[in-house]
Structure formats: structure tokens, C-alpha cells
């Protein structure tokens, strides 16, 4: 949870409250870390993945409207390279960035689900 708090720029207590709310809604679950008895992973549930899939098209339209539509193809390529460089440990396959670049909301949701499961 500490790693996740740092990634989403929340305090640990703020993240705990957020995860509590998401858990109460059935969108995430907490799973014990197999390597550290004190650690906990936050993992999307099937309901959470469904909500992510539902929200992804709106989110991606916003990215298209406010960011990518204003960039040339060369700038988009550069942005993709920069994002991969900034978050190499979060997306070792490039799936999430590739899916967003292709506008594939379902693929982006699947990639995000994998990232949350790995990084959570």
C-alpha cells in the first residue's frame, strides 16, 4: 500500500480511506503479500474491472480531446517514448501505452488491470 500511495500521490492514510471506500463498493480487494506479512496488495475485483471498462471510453475521449488531438504523429511517438521511460517498472510490456495510443479502451482496461495487480 505504501508503494501505491507514492504512485498516486496520496498520503498512506488518504490511500487507506480510498481503498476502504472502493472495497466497500466491491471494486477492489485486499490480498496479503506473500513475501511480507505486513504488506497488502490492492487488487481490482471483476466489478472493479467492469467499472474501469465502463469509465475508460470517457477517460480516453478526454485524453484525445485535451492532449493527443493537439499533437502531431511525431509528438505522439515522442510522448509514448517518454511515458515508457518514466514508468518502466509499471508497464514492462508497453501494453497500456500502446492500447491508449490505439484508442482501444477495452485493451487499456485489461492492461491497467494487469498493472494494478502487479503494482498494487
Task: Read off the pLDDT of residues 36-85 as tens digits, 9 standing for 90 and up.
Answer: 888 888 889 999 999 988 998 898 889 889 988 898 888 888 888 888 88
Closest CA relative to residue 103, chosen from 73, 65, 60: 60
The predicted pLDDT at position 47 comes to 94
What span, in angstroms and rounded, lies between the C-alpha atoms of 105 and 118? 20
Q: Is 98 helix (H, G, I), strand (E, B) or coil?
A: helix
Domain boundaries, the chain: 2-119
Q: What is the CATH number of domain 2-119?
A: 1.10.10.10
What span, in angstroms and rounded, lies between the C-alpha atoms of 59 and 99? 13
Those residues with Cβ within 8 angstroms of residue 57's Cβ, 6 or more apart along the chain or in another chain: 105
What span, in angstroms and rounded, lies between the C-alpha atoms of 3 and 20? 17
Amino acid at each position: 500500500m505504501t508503494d501505491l500511495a507514492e504512485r498516486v500521490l496520496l498520503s498512506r492514510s488518504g490511500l487507506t480511506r480510498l481503498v476502504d471506500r472502493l472495497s466497500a463498493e466491491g471494486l477492489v480487494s485486499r490480498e496479503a503479500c506473500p513475501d511480507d506479512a505486513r504488506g497488502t496488495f490492492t487488487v481490482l475485483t471483476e466489478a472493479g474491472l467492469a467499472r474501469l471498462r465502463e469509465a475508460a471510453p470517457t477517460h480516453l475521449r478526454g485524453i484525445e480531446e485535451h492532449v493527443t488531438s493537439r499533437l502531431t504523429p511525431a509528438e505522439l511517438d515522442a510522448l509514448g517514448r517518454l511515458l515508457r521511460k518514466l514508468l518502466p517498472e509499471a508497464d514492462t510490456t508497453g501494453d497500456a501505452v500502446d492500447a491508449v495510443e490505439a484508442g482501444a479502451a477495452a485493451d487499456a482496461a485489461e492492461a491497467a488491470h494487469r498493472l494494478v495487480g502487479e503494482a498494487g
